[in-house]
Each structure stands twice: as structure tokens, then as C-alpha cells.
Structure 1
Amino acid sequence: MRAGVVVPAQPGVDDLAILAEELGLRSFWVNDTPMVHGDPFVALGLCAKATRHIRLGVGVTSPALRSAPAAASGLASLNALAPGRIICGVGTGNTARRTLGMRPTTAATMETFIAALQDLCAGRSTEYREGDRVRDIRFLHTWTHVNTADPIEFVVAALLGPKAAAVAGRRGTGLMSYGLLEPSAWDALHGARRDAAPAAPRGPDARTDSYLVAPLHLLDEDEDPHGVAARDATGQIVLSLLAFAADTAADPDAFAGQLGPEERQAVERLLDRRGTTASAPDRHIKLYPGYLGRIAPQDRDLVLPSLMDTLALVGTRDDLRARIATLERAGIDELVIQPVIDPPAEMARFAELLS
């Protein structure tokens, strides 16, 4: 299986991209969550100039964050710096919108956005709408400001399950999911994408790869799989799920209702610890600081073994290689890890694990 890494945008990100390339990783992604992390386009511009071969991904942007013209200009500008190496993940903006206290956009809006990006980044005209006003737009650059000749790879974040997978099928894109370690769930996503795909073949540059983003922790000999080191290495994805459950707990069809009793108690403890409630209008300010970063020691008790086992890859070398092989048989092309403790060391261990 191919290997990649995703990190927040911050100073020094280009050094990590250089290391990822030296280690033989296939892709290097930067998060796009404006109220939590730095700007991915700025970060990837640095990475593009510092690297030669590794693919560079925005993971993930959304029509709830940027207009299609602005996003396309950023992507095509990166493509001019790193021709043919750019990947754009697109989602409904679940976390990025919730950190603003707003709801994510719809799958239909996401699909329209992806279609516009595909057209613009390939040098074609596309329809642009604001209210009742509709116009055809295209890049008007007369110099080498952007690159529309080399293909950009698009990937749909399948947080909406079959709906998002169907968008990927109709648009001929890849799929990405977070902490989805159940092979049967990937079978369902791939089936939904396949069922929605048109009968006509895609162009030669179309890519439909599947990406799994997950934290990974390689256990030392006799190490507790639910001990402090494992919780610190995987806690970011567990806390992200609990934050989402806490943020949406007041909804009639709340995600928290799908959790077990112990997990629901952890959601309540998180709300209490952050000094907010599931209906407080400012809860987004309290729940998301440090999102997808290293957890605080006092929050280790929230990293429940049940959620670690569900969302993260933790095990011995042989255990992890066996699990990764199973995921590869389920159609996952690339595993993208989220290092938060010591990224250079974690990246090196990951590269060695898959070598």
C-alpha cells in the first residue's frame, strides 16, 4: 500500500515535506481548517518549491470555505509550482464550518463546486452563480500564472457515506475517509461510487484512488495498546469524534445517540470539561481549540479503548502489516497517517513499516 502523511499548516511544514519525500512517501497533505490551522495554499506553496516528486494535497477544502474561482486559482497556481503533483480533497466543510458555529454545506453544493473546479483547473469555462445571476467564467490569464495543462487529482471526503461516494462516482474522483477501518464500510463506499459512475469511460488522466486517513501507533515490545503513549498518538481522532458528537448532541437525530453508554458519558465529560453545553451558541469556541493536535494529558481519560480500536491503527509490526494488507484488499490505495507526537520519527517508522 502507498503511504502519505497529513499535518497542519504551520512554519516548518516544508521541512516535513522534504523529509516525507526523502522517506519515499507518496503524498503530503495539509489540513484546511481556517480557524484552527494555518492556510494550506501558503504552506503547500513552500512545499512545492522545496520538493521534486512527492504529491501535495489540500485535505480538504469546501465550497463553504472558498468560492470556486478562488479555490481553482489557488490550485492552478500550486500546479504551476509543482506540475502534475497537486491533489485536492473536497468535502462539505464539516469541521471547518463547525469551528465557525455554522453547519456544513450539502452534497449537492459540493458536487457543483467540484464540477466547477474540474472545469476551471483544466482550462475550460464553467457556470458561476450568485443568487439569480449566472455567468460563464474561465481563467483570463495571458501569462504563465497558472497551470491548466497538467492534471489535478480530485478526491471526495466521504463523511456523508453513500451520498459523497455517489458524488465521487458522477465526477470521476477518488474517495477519502477518516478513521474508517472497517473493510465492509469501504465495500459499501466503493459500491456507491461504482453505481453512480456513468457508463462512458473517463479520460486518461482521471484518478479514482481511495485514501484512508488515520493515526497509527507502532507498539514497542510488551507495550499496553491502550496505554499513555498509544492514547497520546491516537487521541486526536478520538477527541475529534467526541467534539463532533458534543457539538451536534442537541440535534433531533444526533450522532451521539448512536454511541454506547460509555462513549456518551465521555461526550458529557468533554462538554463539562470545556465549560459549555450541547446547545450553547458559543460551544464552537470551546470544543475545537487544538483540533487534530496532540491532546492534553488531562484529556487522556476521554480516549476510550473502544474508540481507539475503532478509529486508529495500533499494534505490533506484524499486527499492523496484517491490518493494512486487509485494508488494501478492501480497495484502499493509500494510507495517510496523522503524526502529532514527533512527526519526523513517526513518519520514519511508518515508511519502514510499509517498506
Structure 2
Amino acid sequence: MIRSPTGGGTMRMGIVVTAQPGVADLAVRAEESGFSSFWVYDTPVLHGDPFVALGLCAKATSRIKLGVGVTSPALRSIPAAASAFASLNALAPGRIICGVGTGNTARRTLGMPPTTTAELEGFTAAVQGLCGGGTVEYREGDRVRDIRLLHAGPHVNTTDPIEFVVAATGPKAAAVAGRRGAGILSFGLLDPAAWGALHDARLRAADAPHGAGSYVMTALHVLDEGADPYGDAVRDATGHIVMSLLTFAAETPAFAERLGADVRDAVRSLLDRRGTTAVAPDRYIALYPGYLERIAPADRDLILPSLIDALTLAGTHDDLLARIATLEQAGLDEIVVQPVIDPATELAGLAKLIT
């Protein structure tokens, strides 16, 4: 739990990384430091496989929750996804989090659009059913069959529960979470009012109230007193989150048009530096290398103060506690931080914020 000035804070903190060498060691450090969860991104053409990475983490840890953030019907078939999560659940019983989404980033790295909310809901329901040991309807074209995991036993665990969370930035996906009894995960969403709207949409869609958690993935940087709030250290620690928005805007002109003039200028600069345009059919090849990794020093000027403030948690210790308290009041349960500079060292620093 993140410490509160009054001692009453209950906000949890987790860690998210890309699949990388030494991932199991990072998971062990996170567990020993008191973090609640450890996640690996699922973006196949950008990063290593999350199930391989979390399999290593499962064998090396004993308490921390392990999450995939996030898979989607565009990445894996229903039986393959269910078997993978149930297999992880056999290695770390009751500690697995299945994050599901429309594949916004993972699809765009292929030059393809995300899947629909309806496809997301059907996929989530089917994977939940299979991972719970049930029989579900499986469709390929016009052919429909009932399927279940036939190898349930020592290799896959359909007994201990898996926590499901739906990636959501708006009410449609939040409603899926409500109907499926799932939690909500968002990326860079730090507006308390927006979180209140997501929770309301989930509650309205739910058959009954449930205690599923809510998570936000972001960057967090603690400033020393008197340090430049937008200096190189802050831009390096938060730049990957800001760059994710700029990258999305760079290939989505309709979204970019709704942004401020300074952000639109940064988007144009990003396109120019990558040697592509917002309408080039192969723009994703130029835009996504290095995505969600430490930014290059030459791109620090693109990490605008307004976006640092909106998308990340950067400030003095007391400033951060105040912002976190406001998010907690809005119903957020856990902040999941991605360290990108020196993850092991950053873990140690972040641990000072939690009990």
C-alpha cells in the first residue's frame, strides 16, 4: 500500500515491464519490496512473449500477482489464450491476472485496426468459461462447437480463480467489465472524473455489484525538492508514456485534430523524425520501434510538460501523495508503474513509497 500522510492510504502499487532478460529477477525484487502485482505487456511484434516471461516469474515468486497486460482476440485464439492462462495458473495458483482488450497497440503495430467491443466481450466470456473449467461455444465461420479444456489437471489449473480485467478508456469497454464481473485497466488515465465515469458505466452494466479491482498503468517519478519538474530526468522517466500518446496521434489524424496546438506540433515533429506521414500505409513500421522503452535523448523535446502532467505521476513526494489520494477517492485501486531507465534501481526507489 502507498503510504498516506495520515496513515490511511490503501492504494496498491504494481510494476509492468516488457518481456526482457532478467524479468524473473525483477519479479523477485518486486515481490520482496512489497509490490502487489507484476505485469508483462503482450505486443508480439515489439516485445518478447509474456507467457514465457511470466512462466519464469511464476517459478521464482510465491506471493505477487502476475498479469498479462493485455491480450486480445486479435492476438490469440480462445483455446490458445485459455490454455496459456490456465497453464500459468498451475504454476502460480490464484495469482494470475488476465488483462484483455481490443488490441489497440498490438493491432496497430501490424497496421491493422483494433477489434470490436463485441468481439472483446465474446472472447472474455469464453476465456473466463474455459479457465473456470466450463464448456463454451466456439465458432469458426459457420461452424460452431462446444469446447472445454480436456487436459485439466496437473498441467492446467481450472480450480483456482483467475482475475480478469478489461482495458477501458470509455464506457463501452467499462460496460463489458461490468457484464463480465471483471476489473478495469487503463493506460495513462489519471483524471479522477474519468475514472468516476468508468466506474459508473461498469456498475450500470453489472448484474450485481462486485469488488473487481481497477488499475492504471503509467510512469512515476519522485522529484527532489527544488529539482526541475520538467528536466531531463523527468522526461527520461516518463517519456515512454507520453510518446505512446504522440504515436497514436501520429497515425490517427482525427484524434490529433482534437489536441492542442503544441501537441499537434510535437506529432508533426515525430512524423518528420521517423521519416513517415500520418497517411503512409506503412507508417507503423517507422513509428513503433522502441515503443514503451526509454526514449532517445534527441526526442526529449517532444515530451511536453502538459502531457507529463496529464499522463504520468511526476512530482515531489508530497505532491504525489496528494494526487494519489485523489485517485483513490475516485475508486482507483492500484497504480502500475513501468520503470525504463534502470528498472532494478527504480524498483528500490519506488519501494520507498509503499509499506
Same fold at TM > 0.5: yes
Question: What is the match of residue 22 of structure 1?
Answer: 32
Residues 17 and 39 of structure 2 are in contact (CA less than 8 Å); yes or no, is this contact kept in structure 1? Answer: yes
Cα distance in 1 for residues equivalent to 2:354 and 2:323? 12
1:225 aligns with 2:229: yes
Cα distance in 2 for residues equivalent to 1:95 and 1:247? 12
Question: What is the match of residue 126 of structure 2?
Answer: 116
1:65 aligns with 2:75: yes
Amino acid at match of 2:197: A
What SS does structure 2 have at the residue aligned with 1:163? Answer: helix
Give the superposition deviation at 1:142. Answer: 5.8
- Give CA-to-partner distance per residue, 1:121-174, whole Å, 9 cap, x none: 000000100111100000111642200000000000003x10000000000000
**Amino-acid identity (%):** 72
TM-score, scaled to structure 1: 0.96
Cα distance in 1 for residues equivalent to 2:149 and 2:337? 35
Cα distance in 1 for residues equivalent to 2:153 and 2:124? 25
Question: What is the match of residue 294 of structure 1?
Answer: 294
Cα distance in 1 for residues equivalent to 2:63 and 2:225? 35
What SS does structure 2 have at the residue aligned with 1:9? Answer: coil
Amino acid at match of 2:196: D
Question: What is the match of residue 204 of structure 2?
Answer: 195
Cα distance in 2 for residues equivalent to 1:84 and 1:144? 15
Output the aligned Cα RMSD: 1.0
Cα distance in 2 for residues equivalent to 1:222 and 1:343? 24
Amino acid at match of 2:194: A
Residues 236 and 295 of structure 2 are in contact (CA less than 8 Å); yes or no, is this contact kept in structure 1? Answer: yes
What SS does structure 2 have at the residue aligned with 1:315? Answer: strand
Amino acid at match of 1:54: I
Give the superposition deviation at 1:345. Answer: 1.9
Cα distance in 2 for residues equivalent to 1:271 and 1:26? 38
Alignment of 1:97-136 (within 5 A): 97-136=107-146
What SS does structure 2 have at the residue aligned with 1:353? Answer: coil
Question: What is the match of residue 55 of structure 1?
Answer: 65
Give the superposition deviation at 1:349. Answer: 1.8
Residues 152 and 158 of structure 2 are in contact (CA less than 8 Å); yes or no, is this contact kept in structure 1? Answer: no
1:342 aligns with 2:330: no
Cα distance in 1 for residues equivalent to 2:235 and 2:127? 39
Amino acid at match of 1:42: V
Amino acid at match of 1:83: P
Unpaired runs of 5+ residues, structure 2, are 1-10
Give the superposition deviation at 1:221. Answer: 2.4
Give the superposition deviation at 1:354. Answer: 2.6
- Give CA-to-partner distance per residue, 1:24-74, whole Å, 9 cap, x none: 101000000011110000000000000000000000000000001000000
1:149 aligns with 2:153: no
Residues 3 and 351 of structure 1 are in contact (CA less than 8 Å); yes or no, is this contact kept in structure 2? Answer: no
Cα distance in 2 for residues equivalent to 1:263 and 1:40? 32
Change in Cα spacing, 1:143 to 1:151, as seen in structure 2 (3 Å) is closer
Residues 34 and 354 of structure 2 are in contact (CA less than 8 Å); yes or no, is this contact kept in structure 1? Answer: no
What SS does structure 1 have at the residue aligned with 2:129? Answer: helix
Residues 20 and 347 of structure 1 are in contact (CA less than 8 Å); yes or no, is this contact kept in structure 2? Answer: yes
Question: What is the match of residue 353 of structure 2?
Answer: 353
Question: What is the match of residue 4 of structure 1?
Answer: 14
Question: What is the match of residue 318 of structure 2?
Answer: 318
Correspondence for 2:243 among 231, 234, 239: 239
Give the superposition deviation at 1:341. Answer: 0.7
Amino acid at match of 1:293: E
Cα distance in 2 for residues equivalent to 1:78 and 1:142? 13
Residues 215 and 234 of structure 1 are in contact (CA less than 8 Å); yes or no, is this contact kept in structure 2? Answer: yes
What SS does structure 2 have at the residue aligned with 1:69? Answer: helix
What SS does structure 1 have at the residue aligned with 2:46? Answer: coil
Cα distance in 2 for residues equivalent to 1:319 and 1:346? 19
Correspondence for 2:177 among 164, 168, 185: 168
Question: What is the match of residue 92 of structure 1?
Answer: 102
Aligned length: 345
What SS does structure 1 have at the residue aligned with 2:15? Answer: strand
Correspondence for 1:184 among 173, 193, 201: 193
Cα distance in 2 for residues equivalent to 1:222 and 1:97? 42
Amino acid at match of 1:127: E
- Give CA-to-partner distance per residue, 1:73-116, whole Å, 9 cap, x none: 00000000000000011000000000000000011100000000
Cα distance in 2 for residues equivalent to 1:81 and 1:138? 20
